[in-house]
Amino acid sequence: EDKVVQSPLSLVVHEGDTVTLNCSYEVTNFRSLLWYKQEKKAPTFLFMLTSSGIEKKSGRLSSILDKKELFSILNITATQTGDSAIYLCAVACFEASNDYKLSFGAGTTVTVRA
């Protein structure tokens, strides 16, 4: 059974702090790892990572994948209250049908206080 484990489950920080979210996985037929941000409704896409060691950046957010150690981190620098959300890590795995499916971690709830 595919496993995706996120840590910590929740954290509270103050504006301006930096947060690091972890995602480790044990899956068969790995294809890619994705990060999503979920506020009140459905998740919005942040990053997709397929190669080790290549950092992806978008503004104050960045992410990197280590396929040898089977984990990824998501960094948020200079946090703002608008960063408060649940951050979901998902791993895409190949299926026999040549499709793939996502397995989600439980998410990390980030609360940024003013």
Partner 1 sequence: GAVVSQHPSWVICKSGTSVKIECRSLDFQATTMFWYRQFPKQSLMLMATSNEGSKATYEQGVEKDKFLINHASLTLSTLTVTSAHPEDSSFYICSAQGRGLASTDTQYFGPGTRLTVL
Contact footprint for partner 1 (CB under 8 A): 31-32, 34, 36, 41-45, 48, 88, 90, 92, 97, 99-107
Residue 44 or 80: the one with the smaller Cβ distance to partner 1 is 44
Q: What is the torsional sign of CA 103, 107, 68, 53? A: positive
Rank residues 36 and 79 by Cβ distance to partner 1 and give the closer one: 36
Calpha distance 44→38 (Å, rounded): 6
Smallest separation (angstroms) from partner 1 to the CB of 52 = 17
Rounded to a whole number of angstroms, the minimum distance from the CB of residue 48 to partner 1 is 5
Residue 12 or 106: the one with the smaller Cβ distance to partner 1 is 106
Residue 3: which residues within 8 A CB-CB, separation 6 or more?
25, 26, 27, 103
d(CA 102, CA 82): 26
